[in-house]
Structure 1
Amino acid sequence: ARSRPVRRRPAHNLMPGSPDVSSFPRAEWLKAARRALTAAPDAAFGYDDPRGRVELRTALADYLARARGVYADPERIVVCSGFVDGLALMGKVLRRHGVRAAAVESYGLDIHWNLLVEAGLSTPCLPVDAHGARTGELGGAAGVGAVLLTPAHQFPTGVPLHPGRRAAAVDWARSSGGLILEDDYDGEFRYDRQPVGALQGLDPERVVYLGTASKSLAPGLRLAWMVLPEALVDEVCDAKGGREWMSATPDQLTLAEFIRSGAYDRHVRAMRLRYRRRRDQLVDALAERAPDFRVSGIAAGLHAVLELPEGTEQSVVQAATWQGLALERLARFRHRDAEPGRDGLVIGYGTPSDSGWAGALDALCRVLP
């Protein structure tokens, strides 16, 4: 029998979507786990509220109000196993409400669009430009009952949603009875000024806020949260009960203690400095070694967009593969119904470890045309 070809692991990984997991704060996490589990009542290890442990919901309510400007009553928070789990729950609830279409941004993740499609929703796309998604077009989108947005840092183009377009989205939701699903995947990592506040603060009854520990701590924790309009809490809990009643208690209690003790704030501050330093090194290296290439989306997050000459996107990614460098092209994130756009690379500078960062940066500069 013919043996299968072995897929070699790339020597350098600049794929977007992941933090530097080598920086996970193991010692502080263990300390928080020890304190949390020692203090936990016996009842915490039994069957519990599908919204999640009250300790975590209370800690999140305080943190989100302080750090992200979210109106977050603990009674309106539901803990789930990652953003994808929360989005799947919302797709199910929207379909029960008779929603047939949920608008999405013309650039994003197909796994998110596919979850909505699996829930029975169509996903018409809103064009994205230098000011974010064109939310003013929602009013002319027939049958749309919800919209999925990344307002703080559009994924993957990196632009924040313009204040006028934030207002337009909220106005549409109020006038139409629609819902805004806010994906705040990396809103804590802003480098050039104060973080852009969450859209949810403009109208907590029309926005479902979805946050996650995947970028700030590690995706392996499988912890995320939804801050819901009051009218949706029971429905989401009912939908959750049919899938996964509750998330693992020990990790919930540990994260609650990690936040309460101030360790989460300290970790986010440290990672913000680390990622900003990498962002600066990326920009400086490109300015020195590839000055003809423009890099954008650099004010926040864990990735940047490197614009390429027209028609070169695929060849650059292929050359990178030969050099053992994992890259993702911008076209990979374009909605199937979107107009053709510019060529580019989405450079994930959060993924490499500190020891691997310089080599990855050097490999990137070598493969540019």
Structure 2
Amino acid sequence: MARILLISTVKTETFIGDMAEKLSKDNEVWRYSILESKLTNYTSGQVVLFSTKNSKISIVFSAFKLKSYLKEIDYIHYHFINVYSVLIHLLVFNFSKCIKYATFWGSDFSLAKKKGRLSYLFFKRMDKILFSNGISLKDFSSLYPKLEDKLEIIKWPLSILELQKNIKNTDKGVFDFNIPLGKQIVCVGTNGGKNQNHLRIIEELNKLNTKISDEFYFLFPAGYPKNNDIYIKEIESKLKVSSLSFYHIDTSFHTEIDLAYYRNMTDILIQVQNNDMFSGAMQEAIFGGAKIITGSWLPYEILDVNNVMLFKIDDFSQLSKTLIEAKNFEFSPEMKKHNAEVIYSLSGWEIIKKQWFGLYKS
């Protein structure tokens, strides 16, 4: 039985928590949330809070407490890497003899591009550096050619796909968004982060003829990140003076079966982040039968190779026109089935679980 510590800067349990639960069936697994100073033992269920403060100093000191609490670890695996991950590792775990991994998931890749001395030392200490797609791996390799032997691709398993299989697309689940009959549901982004470009999207949607925009119900999922009130108010203010008649900012955080309903009820997803690895939320929406509008600058070549239908824009000025094109496109059951099969082959848990369990050998 391997002893595994998963460290991340993301407060939500959706991704890391789900993986921790799966790994805990055959291993002893802890998950440490840096920003919450919280340690969770997924094997025993124990939760330890090292500090209630959120200052930089308390975050670092909490990590020292973590090391004294967990004296024997076989693996440390960093997820959603940022400057805190680097500092904590170099100050606390730098000389630990355990095996060390680092996984990039999206906007955290910007840390690698800064190419600072501390960042390089962090990556150099890793036994493996993991990516969800080849484009990002190549970009990293060009920045750090000396670390090329450490780089690997490993896909993230999406457990929501298993739940989506048993849901009818016409079923809206427990949600009460008061969506008028006949409206196409357009999800604008997949979370409430600025990387989703909500404000720019609203500006482009404003260019739609009102008769056309009234055919849509625009849903803004903004359940995370936490402490995001200022940006949410910016979105709300922008929407109030927009020409859009039907919209809702959803600040609830959804998990498990609710999230599966959410993905399946989406007709169109506007996914035009500044940067991304391979959006799990987008994959789930594709699996659920949604049409996807995305940016040509995002590294989704694996979907192109597998003939997954995407509507791509090169610039935000093309968004309103592309939305109309997506609405009018005849999306056949055969195409939806093909898209779903491709997504499951890439991210279904039963398909890729051997990769993940193979990382941690007891």
- Bigger RCO of structures 1 and 2 (CA < 8 A, at least 6 apart): 1
TM superposition score category, shorter chain reference:
0.3 to 0.5
Q: TM-score, normalised by structure 2?
A: 0.33
